Chain A
Amino acid sequence: MMDTMLKRMSLRSLYALLGFAILTAFFLLGSCLHQIGIPIPGGVLGLILFYLSMSTGLVKLKWVESMAGLMLRHMVLLFVPLTVGLMEMGQLLSKQAVAITASLLVSLVAVMVTTGLLGRWLLPALPAAGKEAGQ
């Protein structure tokens, strides 16, 4: 009983390590491609290549699922250090407060209204969503 539990646990942590290795490898691959002149950020290039690898079956969802889930759930932790940097930007922020706030509000409403209305006009022609997800 104890043995099977340990085996299952170590298997799970091996999957986590494998997942981390795969995600890091794709990030580094993307960063190399970015370095040699592709103008898209390395992480996004990695994301695209990783998506294609899963679509073609080169990488199995099962290998990365647990680590990807963990990283996405706790992503907030990863941008804490950069956010702390705001403490040194008080002056710039207060000087540009109006422009920054206006830009945020205008753009937020514009994106939601454009996307929502386009969706309202273009999507209903397609098969009912519920049925499709159930296939």
Chain B
Amino acid sequence: MNFLVTHPVFSIAFTLLSYFLATVLHRRWRWIPPIVAACLPIVALLLLVREPYEKYNQGGNCLTWLLGPATVALAVPMYRHGVALRRSLPTLALIVLAGSVVGMITAGGTAWLLGAPLPVVMSTIPKSVTTPIAIEVCRELKGIPQITIALVILAGVLGASFGAPLMRLVGVKDDRAIGAAIGTAAHGVGTASLVRRSEMQATVSSWAMAAAGVFTSLLAALLKLFLH
């Protein structure tokens, strides 16, 4: 029994099945986050058969590797929306760059001031950007990818729910500014929440999310040079 359950092919198939069920549940009940619904059956199975995560991850790793090509795929919305936005692109780039710098400093700085150990501090730094890039940046900085993922998901969900009200609170009404703020802070999850509100917000947001990922990687490279 345990031979079957820990076979890498079984791990992949079971992950696909859990993901499929999670998307079905999410379609019926919108408030269920697919990532949580997809993970729970896997965790339950591993606890039930008393196998360590490491065994499951022999197969799981194959899916993790695909995040590489998926990162490259982010260039497609960036390119497509970049064409539509070309005149405001330099200004947008500047704004997103500023947002990314502030995000990295405040995330790392807060964790550091509250006495978190260095790997945890490093894990918080890429928390604003889209998951595949955040994981790569976290690995570069010798953080803990799992912590980064949890933060990225939470940033996305919170940004999607409270981003628009916050923008209203500080008096930001320009569609492009709202899109840039939510794309930079809450990546794909935030962007998805804008699609039904305004086409311009969603377009800027998906450009900003990819740009924030690129800028954060570049800034993390600088940070790494500085730390050595």
Contact = CB atoms under 8 A, between A and B. Distances in A.
Given A112-B182, A116-B177, A47 B91 contact: no
B53 A51 contact: no
* Residue with the highest number of chain A CB atoms closer than 10 Å, among B100, B106, B140: B106
Contacts, number: 332
Centre residue among A46, A54, A84, A132 by max chain B CB count within 10 A? A84
Specify the main secondary structure of chain B where it touches its partner: helix
B9 interface: no
Given A82-B146, A83-B35, A85-B53, A76 B19 contact: yes
Pairs of residues from A and B, 3 with the lowest C-beta to C-beta distance, nearest first: A119-B177, A81-B60, A43-B71
Interface of B: 11, 15-16, 18-19, 22, 34-35, 38-39, 42-43, 46-47, 52-53, 56-57, 59-61, 63-64, 66-80, 84-88, 91-92, 94-96, 98-100, 102-103, 106-108, 110-111, 114-117, 120, 124, 127-128, 131-133, 135-137, 139-140, 144-147, 149-151, 153-155, 158-159, 163, 166-167, 170-178, 180-182, 184-186, 188, 199-200, 203, 208, 210, 213-214, 217-218, 221, 224-225
Interface of A: 20, 23-24, 26-27, 30-31, 39-44, 46-48, 50-51, 54-55, 61, 64-65, 67-69, 71-72, 74-89, 92-93, 96, 98-100, 102-120, 122-124, 126-127, 129-130, 132-133
